[in-house]
C-alpha cells in the first residue's frame, strides 16, 4: 500500500512537473506569438506607409512630368518669341515685318491660326497684313465681322487692352461670338500700338481643345504684339529718314547740276576772255613794232637831224613802247599759260644755279637800293624737276617785287629746303608787307594793293598771276605770308 501510494505520489509529482513544464512552455510560446503578432502589426503599418509613399512618389512623378512638359513648352515659346523679336526688329519694311511670322513659329507659340489687321484711320478700313490658316473667303467674312463689331475692335486699339478667351477679359457672350466667327476654341487678340501712324491688332487662335492654353501663352502674344508695334515704329522712322535723305540727295544732285552748268559757263567766258586777250595782244604787237621801228629810225637820224627836244620825246616814245611791248608780251604769256598752250619742258635742274643767275641779272637794281640778296640752298634741295626758263621767270618776278617793295638797305633771301619728296623755295624780304585781306588776291590778274607805295612803284598786276600759272603748270603751289611793316615771304613747292 505504501508503495502504491508512493507511486501515486510520484506520478502526481511527475504529472504536476509535466503540467508545470508544459505551462511554462505554453506561456513562453504565447509570449513569442505575441511578439510575432506585434512584429506583424508593425510590418503591416510599415507596409501601409511604404504603399502611401509609393503612391505619393508616382503622383509627384506624374506632376513633375507635367510640369516638365509645360516648362519645355514655355521654353520653346520663349525661344520662338526671342527669335521672332530679333527678326522683326531688324526688318525695316512694314509688310516684311508680318511676313516673319510663319505657321511653324505660330505652332511653337501654341497656336495654329493668325490674322493681323492694321486700321487705316483716314479711310476707316481694316487692312489684313497677315493670314495663317484661313481661306480667303473666311478672311473676308472675318473682316466684315470686324466692321460689324467696329466698336469692340476700336476699343482694343485705343485702350491697350487684350481680348482673350484664356483670361476671359470680356463678357462671355463676346468671347463666344469671337470664337465662333474666327472658328477657334481659344484665342488672344492683342493690340499693335506704334507711337505714330496706323494702329492694329494681331489675332492668334487654336482649334485644338486638348492642349489647354495658359496665361503665359497669352503673355507671349502680348509681348509679340508690342514687338511688332516697336518694329513698325522703327520701320516708319527709317522710311521718314530715308525719304528725307533721298530728298536731300536729289537737292544736292540738282545743285551740283546747276553748279556744273554755271562752272561750264564760267569756263566758256574765261576761255573767251583768254582768246580775246590773246587776239588783242597780237593786234597790239604789230602797230607797236611799227611805232618802235619809226621812233628808232628817227632817233638814228636817218631822216635828218633830230633836235634835242624831239630826241627827248622820241626816247620817251621808245621807252614807253618797250614797256607796252613788255605788257603785251606778259598778257600773251598769261593767256597762253591759262589756255594750257604752254608746255613745261621739265628736266632735272639745279635750283642754286637758277637763283645765282637771277641774282646776277638783278644785281644793278639791288645795288641801286643797297639791298643784300642772300642765297641759302643746301645740297639736298638743289635738284628740282622744272622748266629752267619758266622757273627763272618766277624767281625774277619774285625778287623783282622784293626789290620794288623793300626800302633801301633791306634784306632779301632765297632759301630752299627739302620737304618730303619736294623742294620748297622761299623768297623773303624786309619790305612793306601785304595786308592780310590782300594776301590771296595778289595772285589775281591786274590786282595791285591799294597803298601809297604802289602809287610810286610801277607795275601791271600781272607778275604774280604769271608766277601762279607757271607753278601750277609744274603741279606745285604758291602762297604768301606777310607781316605788314616787317616783310613778306613768297613760297612755292616744286616736285623733285
Ligand atoms: P605788280 O608788281 O606789277 O604790281 P604783281 O602781280 O607782281 O604786280 O604783284 C601784285 C601786288 O602784290 C603788287 O602790286 C603789290 O601790291 C603786292 N606785292 C607783290 N610782291 C610784294 C612784296 N614782296 N612786298 C609787298 N607787296 C608785294
- What pLDDT, on a 0 to 100 scale, did the predictor assign at position 59? 92
184 CA distance to ligand 1 centroid (A)?
94
Cβ(447)–Cβ(435) under 8 Å? no
459 CA distance to ligand 1 centroid (A)?
8
Section 163-171 average pLDDT = 92
- What pLDDT, on a 0 to 100 scale, did the predictor assign at position 279? 86
Mutation probe of ligand 1 site: the residue of 362, 401, 405 with most atoms within 8 A of C-beta: 401
397 CA distance to ligand 1 centroid (A)?
9
Least confident of 61-70, 154-163, 400-409: 154-163
Which residue has a Cα nearest atom 11 of ligand 1?
448
Q: Rounded distance, CA 447 to CA 334, Å?
A: 14
Q: Rounded distance, CA 38 to CA 44, Å?
A: 10
For residue 461, which atom of ligand 1 is closest to its CA? 8
Q: What percent of the chain has pLDDT over 90?
A: 69
Is the confidence at residue 313, as pLDDT, over 90?
Answer: yes
Is the confidence at residue 459, as pLDDT, over 90?
Answer: no
Cβ(163)–Cβ(169) under 8 Å? yes
47 CA distance to ligand 1 centroid (A)?
123
- What pLDDT, on a 0 to 100 scale, did the predictor assign at position 125? 93
Q: Rounded distance, CA 402 to CA 415, Å?
A: 14
- The two beta strands, 372-376 and 411-419, are parallel
Angle, nearest 10°, between helix axes 136-148 and 172-181?
150
Is the confidence at residue 4, as pLDDT, over 90?
Answer: no
- What pLDDT, on a 0 to 100 scale, did the predictor assign at position 197? 87
Phi/psi of residue 157, nearest 5 degrees = -70, -40
Which residue has a Cα nearest atom 23 of ligand 1?
402
For residue 451, which atom of ligand 1 is closest to its CA? 16
Mutation probe of ligand 1 site: the residue of 337, 406, 434, 491 with most atoms within 8 A of C-beta: 434
Is the confidence at residue 205, as pLDDT, over 90?
Answer: yes
pLDDT tens by residue, 448-457: 998 888 888 8
Q: Which residues line ligand 1 (CB under 6 A)?
A: 397, 401-402, 405, 429, 431-434, 442, 447-449, 454, 459-465, 488
Section 50-76 average pLDDT = 89
pLDDT tens by residue, 110-128: 999 999 999 998 999 999 9
Cβ(487)–Cβ(429) under 8 Å? yes
- What pLDDT, on a 0 to 100 scale, did the predictor assign at position 212? 82
Section 334-350 average pLDDT = 87
488 CA distance to ligand 1 centroid (A)?
10
For residue 466, which atom of ligand 1 is closest to its CA? 6
Mutation probe of ligand 1 site: the residue of 398, 448, 490 with most atoms within 8 A of C-beta: 448
Cβ(109)–Cβ(130) under 8 Å? no
Which residue has a Cα nearest atom 12 of ligand 1?
442
Section 8-31 average pLDDT = 87
The length of the chain in residues reads: 496
Is the confidence at residue 160, as pLDDT, over 80?
Answer: no
- Report residue 470 as a C-alpha cell: 607757271
First to last CA, the chain: 170
Is the confidence at residue 149, as pLDDT, over 60?
Answer: yes
Is the confidence at residue 340, as pLDDT, over 90?
Answer: no
489 CA distance to ligand 1 centroid (A)?
12
Mutation probe of ligand 1 site: the residue of 430, 442, 452, 489 with most atoms within 8 A of C-beta: 442
Section 133-149 average pLDDT = 95
Of 339 and 429, the one with more pLDDT = 429
- What pLDDT, on a 0 to 100 scale, did the predictor assign at position 71? 85
Is the confidence at residue 193, as pLDDT, over 60?
Answer: yes
Section 294-321 average pLDDT = 91
- What pLDDT, on a 0 to 100 scale, did the predictor assign at position 1? 57
One DSSP character per residue, 222-291 reads: HHHHHHHHHHHHHHHHHHHHHHHHHHHHHHHHHHHHHHHHHHHHHHHHHHHHHHHHHHHHHHHHHHHHHH
414 CA distance to ligand 1 centroid (A)?
17
H or E stretch including 383?
A: strand 383-386
- Report residue 364 as a C-alpha cell: 644793278
Q: Rounded distance, CA 162 to CA 165, Å?
A: 10
- What pLDDT, on a 0 to 100 scale, did the predictor assign at position 280? 85
Q: What is the mean pLDDT of the chain?
A: 92
User: For 160, which DSSP code?
Assistant: T
Q: Is the dihedral of CA 9, 11, 13, 16 positive or negative?
A: negative
Is the confidence at residue 3, as pLDDT, over 80?
Answer: no
Q: Rounded distance, CA 139 to CA 115, Å?
A: 8
Section 469-478 average pLDDT = 94
Section 50-70 average pLDDT = 90
Amino acid at each position: 500500500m505504501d508503495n502504491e501510494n508512493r507511486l501515486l505520489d510520484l506520478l502526481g509529482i511527475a504529472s504536476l512537473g509535466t503540467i508545470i513544464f508544459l505551462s511554462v512552455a505554453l506561456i513562453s510560446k504565447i509570449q513569442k506569438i505575441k511578439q510575432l503578432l506585434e512584429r506583424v502589426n508593425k510590418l503591416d503599418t510599415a507596409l501601409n506607409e511604404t504603399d502611401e509613399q509609393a503612391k505619393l512618389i508616382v503622383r509627384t512623378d506624374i506632376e513633375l512630368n507635367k510640369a516638365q512638359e509645360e516648362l519645355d513648352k514655355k521654353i520653346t515659346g520663349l525661344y520662338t518669341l526671342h527669335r521672332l523679336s530679333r527678326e522683326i526688329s531688324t526688318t525695316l519694311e512694314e509688310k516684311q515685318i508680318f511676313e516673319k511670322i510663319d505657321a511653324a513659329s505660330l505652332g511653337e507659340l501654341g497656336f495654329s491660326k493668325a490674322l493681323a489687321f492694321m486700321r487705316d484711320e483716314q479711310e476707316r478700313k481694316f487692312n489684313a497684313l497677315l493670314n495663317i490658316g484661313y481661306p480667303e473667303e473666311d478672311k473676308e467674312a472675318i473682316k466684315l465681322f470686324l466692321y460689324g463689331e467696329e466698336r469692340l475692335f476700336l476699343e482694343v486699339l485705343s485702350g491697350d487692352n487684350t481680348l482673350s478667351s484664356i483670361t476671359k477679359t470680356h463678357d462671355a457672350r463676346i468671347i463666344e461670338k469671337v470664337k465662333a466667327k474666327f472658328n477657334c476654341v481659344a484665342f488672344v487678340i492683342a493690340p499693335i500700338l506704334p507711337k505714330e501712324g496706323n494702329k492694329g491688332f494681331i489675332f492668334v487662335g487654336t482649334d485644338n481643345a486638348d492642349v489647354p492654353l495658359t496665361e503665359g501663352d497669352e503673355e507671349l502674344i502680348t509681348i509679340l504684339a508690342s514687338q511688332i508695334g516697336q518694329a513698325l515704329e522703327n520701320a516708319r522712322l527709317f522710311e521718314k529718314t530715308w525719304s528725307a535723305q533721298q530728298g536731300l540727295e536729289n537737292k544736292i544732285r540738282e545743285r551740283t547740276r546747276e553748279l556744273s552748268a554755271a562752272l561750264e559757263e564760267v569756263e566758256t567766258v574765261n576761255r573767251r576772255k583768254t582768246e580775246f586777250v590773246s587776239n588783242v595782244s597780237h593786234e597790239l604787237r604789230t602797230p607797236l613794232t611799227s611805232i618802235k621801228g619809226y621812233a628808232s629810225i628817227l632817233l638814228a637820224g636817218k631822216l635828218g637831224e633830230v633836235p634835242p627836244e624831239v630826241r627827248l620825246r622820241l626816247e620817251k616814245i621808245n621807252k614807253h613802247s618797250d614797256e607796252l611791248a613788255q605788257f603785251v608780251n606778259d598778257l600773251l604769256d598769261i593767256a597762253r599759260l591759262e589756255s594750257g598752250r604752254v608746255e613745261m619742258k621739265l628736266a632735272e635742274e639745279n635750283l642754286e644755279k637758277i637763283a645765282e643767275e637771277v641774282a646776277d641779272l638783278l644785281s644793278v637794281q639791288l645795288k641801286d637800293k643797297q639791298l643784300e640778296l642772300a642765297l641759302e640752298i643746301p645740297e639736298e634741295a638743289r635738284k628740282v624737276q622744272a622748266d629752267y626758263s619758266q622757273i627763272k621767270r618766277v624767281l625774277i618776278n619774285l625778287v623783282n617785287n622784293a626789290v620794288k617793295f623793300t626800302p633801301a638797305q633791306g634784306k632779301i633771301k632765297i632759301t630752299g629746303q627739302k620737304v618730303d619728296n619736294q623742294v620748297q623755295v622761299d623768297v623773303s624780304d624786309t619790305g612793306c608787307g601785304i595786308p592780310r585781306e590782300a594776301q590771296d588776291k595778289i595772285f589775281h590778274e591786274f590786282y595791285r594793293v591799294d597803298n601809297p607805295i604802289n602809287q610810286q612803284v610801277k607795275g601791271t598786276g600781272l607778275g604774280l598771276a604769271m608766277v601762279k600759272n607757271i607753278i601750277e603748270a609744274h603741279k606745285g603751289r604758291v602762297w604768301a605770308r606777310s607781316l605788314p611793316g616787317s616783310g613778306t615771304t613768297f613760297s612755292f613747292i616744286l616736285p623733285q
